[in-house]
Structure 1
Amino acid sequence: MKKAFLYLLLLTTSALTSHAQDCGTAFLGTKTLYKAPFVKYTPVPAGYQPVFINHVGRHGARHLTKDVNTTAIYGILLKADSTNMLTDKGRLLKQMVLSLQKVEKGNTKSISAEGRAELKEIGNRMYHNYSNVFARSPKLNVTVTKEIRTKQSADAFLSGLKAGLKDSAQITETNDDLNLRFYDESPAYTAYKDGDDWEKYKAIIVKAEHIDEMNKNITARLFKPDFLKTQDKKWADKIVSDMWGFATIVYSLKEEIGQKNIAPGDLDFTRFFTCEELKALGRADAVEDFLVKGPGIKPNGIQVIIAAPLLANFITTSDDFIKTGPVNANLRFAHAETISPFAALLGIVGADKVSPNINQFDAAWQASNVAPLSSNIQWIFYKKKGSANYLVKVLLNEKEAHITGLKAGFPYYKWADVRKLYVAKLTSLNYKLGDDASAFLKAVK
């Protein structure tokens, strides 16, 4: 009898602590860890060498942006537990949330060790791939935003870049929220983001993926029926949204979790979902990014237009280099809300296709390919000795990018052609080089 009891206890414990089935990471979207590209670049045309780089990157893998104990789920779990309203899975979830709080305390808004490694490796690859740009005491302009994670990302990137330098670099660091956080500067975009125009399209995906029913099923595994009787749909949305945030963030926290002597599996929040649920929730999360940060349902949506000042900045700083060569590289560090609309505005294939049929939004646009953690866009300029002409290669996440509207030259496009295309695009948006970026963002509709 005693042996049978112990066996049952073992089975119960195993059921509670076993990990979810391996569902992969496709559901992570913009929380996807950066992967070094295993690509072979197209050979550079004979006689050309890299001479200048214009770059913008997203911050690295990060911690949560707010304390665990300020989330809705934290207080709800504690309250439900105090009245014995949690199921066994609910109590396990509560323990995991408390453990995550230990990991995250004092670290919110910062990049993680994983993020530092991502950025360091990107900087190191930039040096080795384009070492000619960084010869002879290079001058670098480094630009960050007001968020500490962009400064931390710049430092990590530079640690990798400078590891290869033979001479010290002259580095000028500035803040540029206007060009890098353009989405904060546009009242029309704020109204769009906070409004319901895009929500009706997301609702189509929510309905198609049965998200409301799914949220109800998920919360039913965690809370006892008497507790659930008093809750509504919005309450279930909050619970699952917080669980989702925790499930996607822990991939970025491997080292920090280990430092707290917590086994990675003990913070595997995906165990509370089925693979189908993770896939559905990932799609609902990605469509919001597509509508609010990506190409959306029609060309030149407000969420893309607002990246015009950054495009103008890329053009003028490239012109400045060609005229006087003041710096060897412009290195900017920003956010997913910077990278995704900029990639769409540039016409990068795979990042710019609109989808009038929202059910097909992810046929040609994948958040994990466009704006994963540490995502980046680079313009690499090449010149042949004795020639006045420049070629430029555009990279998205260190991969050669096709540009919609440029038919010849891939991946080494003529700068004159690239510039003509983008100046014309800016003109079509009523923005000219030299215009006041702040005035444009305040006026754009």
Structure 2
Amino acid sequence: MNATFRRVLSLCIAALSLLPICAQGFPPQLNGTMMPYNFSSTDSIVPWSDDMKPVFINYVARHGARYLSSEKKVESLRHTLHDADSTGTLSDKGRLFMRLLQSVDSVTDGNWGALNATGIYEEQRLGEEMTRIAPDLLAKGEATAVSSYVPRVVMTMYELCHQLARHSTHISVSTSEGRQFDSLLRYFTTDSAYVDYLENGDWKAGYDRFVDTNISASPARSLFTTDIPQGKLRKLTLDMYGVLQSLPAARLEWQPEIWFSLPEYRACWEAANLKHYYQRSVSEYSSVAAAASSALLDDIIRTNDAAAAGKTDGKVAALRFGHAETVIPLFALMRLPGCYYPEGSAESVASEWKDWEVSPLGANLMIVMLKDRVGDTFVSLRLNGRWLTMTSPDGNSYGKIIPWSALRKQWLQYIPTSH
């Protein structure tokens, strides 16, 4: 049994222990950005022929599966349900939800937002996939990795890089993390125009209208035996969804059908999806989110340019690890298929722009730089496990092997001159 087979076998065994505990009839995609990475739909065959050779990998990723990011939502719900219980107005379904919140507390045990066993498995497997895609390239040389300071992101970087180091004793892997990378990986906290848009943007009114029209009060109403204002119930319904959508990634039993009908749960996903779209992508309200990711795209372009010129000083890969808020705007700025929908209405977004396709847990974009026999450079882009077919500005398809000079020119045009 060779080393590669043993690694694949161990990952398959680990996967069996991490199979999601799914609800009947509720697609896991409705958990949106909290959906664990779907390895079952990834492409297993590289799109280039033997006369092309990978010479560099650029990689940008979101952290892997985590526990619920904070106890704020759990505490708010628990306080509301406790008050109802103390006044004798908590229903049987309300008591069930209280027990669910206790389970979340017990399993999380203070590890709010931490990378969990599912996330560790995801990163190990993603590292294994990277070595399978370019085994000769990653057999030696240096891979450099940077991450934001947030512990789950740091751990994501370590897990994937550990897998690269396991692949070959001849590859050098260096890692670095910290607030010095905030402008690159957490620009959603450092770009003043973007921060202002998140706090004060016109998107809020559009989102609120969608919630008022589409979110049912019924799931939250089922928790109580007394009347509660509709607006408060709709907010509670969304909070319930926020807890329930986190359960599969945390390996907790997921049974939304106790409180939600499928259309009600889907409407909550549509609201969450719309909020991600308005806040992080290019929409009718603003392109400031995508513009804020310009420094990250510029870094990718410069790194690719060095690889095309053969000036990498022995580096074979540049890896960057961040958040959903890192990758969603970047993918929109790059105009990757499925990630850029600039003129969507609130009603059409869910059919054209899906957060679980753009940024599931473990989301990643791998850019493989290729050279042919005469030294011309090309790139292939792999988004969340699928090789992308890119098109030129005039609508002609490059296919999955894209001349680097052409794609470089496009991406430079998308970067605002003010950045």
Whether these two folds match at TM > 0.5 is: yes
Q: CA deviation at 1:90?
A: 1.0
Aligned residue number for residue 265 of structure 2: 278
Aligned residue number for residue 243 of structure 1: 240
Give the alignment partner of residue 155 of structure 1, picking from 139, 158, 163: 158
Aligned residue number for residue 184 of structure 2: 179
- Rounded to whole Å, the distance in 2 between the matches of 1:73 and 1:43 is 49
Indicate yes or no: 2:76 matched with 1:47.
Answer: no
- Deviations 1:153-199 (CA, angstroms, capped at 9, x unpaired): 11121233333224242424243111111111122212211225112
Indicate yes or no: 2:282 matched with 1:295.
Answer: yes
Conserved 8 A contact 1:348-1:402:
no
Q: CA deviation at 1:247?
A: 0.4
Compute the TM-score of the two structures, normalised by the length of structure 2: 0.87
Give the alignment partner of residue 255 of structure 2, picking from 268, 285, 288: 268
C-alpha spacing 1:21/1:321, structure 2 compared with 1 (3 Å): closer
Indicate yes or no: 2:234 matched with 1:224.
Answer: no
Q: CA deviation at 1:84?
A: 1.6
Identify which range, 102-111 or 170-179, moves more after superposition.
170-179
Indicate yes or no: 2:376 matched with 1:373.
Answer: no
Structure with max Cα Rg: 1
Letter in 1 for 2:166: A
Aligned residue number for residue 412 of structure 1: 401
- Rounded to whole Å, the distance in 2 between the matches of 1:40 and 1:125 is 9
Aligned residue number for residue 351 of structure 1: 339
Identify which range, 307-316 or 74-83, moves more after superposition.
74-83
C-alpha spacing 1:342/1:69, structure 2 compared with 1 (3 Å): closer
- Rounded to whole Å, the distance in 2 between the matches of 1:99 and 1:33 is 20
- Rounded to whole Å, the distance in 1 between the matches of 2:50 and 2:319 is 27
Moved over 6 A (4+): none
- Rounded to whole Å, the distance in 2 between the matches of 1:130 and 1:20 is 38
C-alpha spacing 1:345/1:149, structure 2 compared with 1 (3 Å): same
Indicate yes or no: 2:410 matched with 1:421.
Answer: yes
- Rounded to whole Å, the distance in 1 between the matches of 2:50 and 2:74 is 58
Aligned residue number for residue 8 of structure 2: none
RMSD (Å), alpha carbons: 2.2
- Rounded to whole Å, the distance in 2 between the matches of 1:360 and 1:162 is 44
- Rounded to whole Å, the distance in 2 between the matches of 1:317 and 1:195 is 35
Q: CA deviation at 1:39?
A: 2.3
- Deviations 1:46-73 (CA, angstroms, capped at 9, x unpaired): 5211110000011001111212686211
Count of aligned positions: 391
**Gaps in structure 1 of 5+ consecutive residues:** 1-18, 258-263, 432-439, 441-445
Q: Secondary structure at the match of 2:379?
A: strand
Letter in 1 for 2:120: R
Q: Secondary structure at the match of 1:409?
A: strand
C-alpha spacing 1:109/1:26, structure 2 compared with 1 (3 Å): closer
- Rounded to whole Å, the distance in 2 between the matches of 1:166 and 1:195 is 51
Q: Secondary structure at the match of 1:328?
A: strand
C-alpha spacing 1:69/1:304, structure 2 compared with 1 (3 Å): closer
Indicate yes or no: 2:246 matched with 1:252.
Answer: no
Q: CA deviation at 1:272?
A: 1.2
Aligned residue number for residue 14 of structure 1: none
- Rounded to whole Å, the distance in 2 between the matches of 1:369 and 1:99 is 29
Q: Secondary structure at the match of 1:333?
A: strand
Letter in 2 for 1:413: I
- Rounded to whole Å, the distance in 1 between the matches of 2:133 and 2:95 is 51
Q: CA deviation at 1:284?
A: 1.0
Q: Secondary structure at the match of 1:53?
A: strand
- Rounded to whole Å, the distance in 1 between the matches of 2:172 and 2:48 is 26
Compute the TM-score of the two structures, normalised by the length of structure 1: 0.82
- Rounded to whole Å, the distance in 1 between the matches of 2:363 and 2:83 is 40
- Rounded to whole Å, the distance in 1 between the matches of 2:101 and 2:139 is 49
- Rounded to whole Å, the distance in 1 between the matches of 2:160 and 2:149 is 17
C-alpha spacing 1:110/1:219, structure 2 compared with 1 (3 Å): same
Aligned residue number for residue 312 of structure 2: 325
Conserved 8 A contact 1:184-1:190:
yes
Q: Secondary structure at the match of 1:288?
A: helix
Aligned residue number for residue 87 of structure 1: 91
Give the alignment partner of residue 397 of structure 1, picking from 360, 369, 384: 384
Q: CA deviation at 1:40?
A: 4.9
Aligned residue number for residue 34 of structure 1: 37
**Gaps in structure 2 of 5+ consecutive residues:** 1-21
Aligned residue number for residue 190 of structure 1: 195
Letter in 2 for 1:31: M
Indicate yes or no: 2:290 matched with 1:304.
Answer: yes
Letter in 2 for 1:147: V
Q: CA deviation at 1:244?
A: 1.1
Q: Secondary structure at the match of 1:56?
A: strand
C-alpha spacing 1:168/1:304, structure 2 compared with 1 (3 Å): closer
Conserved 8 A contact 2:207-2:275:
yes
Aligned residue number for residue 341 of structure 1: 329
The percentage of counterpart residues that share the same residue type is: 24
Q: CA deviation at 1:218?
A: 2.1
Indicate yes or no: 2:102 matched with 1:122.
Answer: no
